[in-house]
Amino acid sequence: MIVYNVTIKIEPEIHDDWMAWMKDKHIPAVMETGYFFDHKMYRLMELNEADGITYAIQYFCDSFENYMQYQKERAPALQEEHTARYKDKFVAFRTLMRAV
């Protein structure tokens, strides 16, 4: 199993809009690609949130090949949509993990 992890810090003034958009639009769009079979969203704890609220969104897929197809075929447009909507109000980084 492969876990595609997106860690993102959101500025407080857009948090509520971002959360609603993620739950109603972005995460469903990622899941509708068919490359992932499940996802989880976590809020990081014990952090100073004065400059932003941090989340980790994890998408689970069966194989590295599925992940690579997602990156090639669907990720660029989905990431661009997020960037266009929230511009400089967030910072994100992505990691890839394999279950052991």
Strand residues in 2-89 grouped as ranges (E): 2-10, 38-43, 53-61
- Mean pLDDT on 7-20: 97
Whether domain 2-98 has CATH 3.30.70.100: the reply is yes
Reported as a single tens digit per residue, the pLDDT across 63-81 is 999 999 999 999 999 999 9
Reported as a single tens digit per residue, the pLDDT across 23-75 is 999 999 999 999 999 999 999 998 888 889 999 999 999 999 999 999 999 99
In this structure, the chain runs to a length of: 100
Q: Is pTM, for the whole model, over 0.85?
A: yes
Which helix or strand (DSSP H or E) is residue 90 part of? strand 90-98
CB 10 within 8 A of CB 90: yes
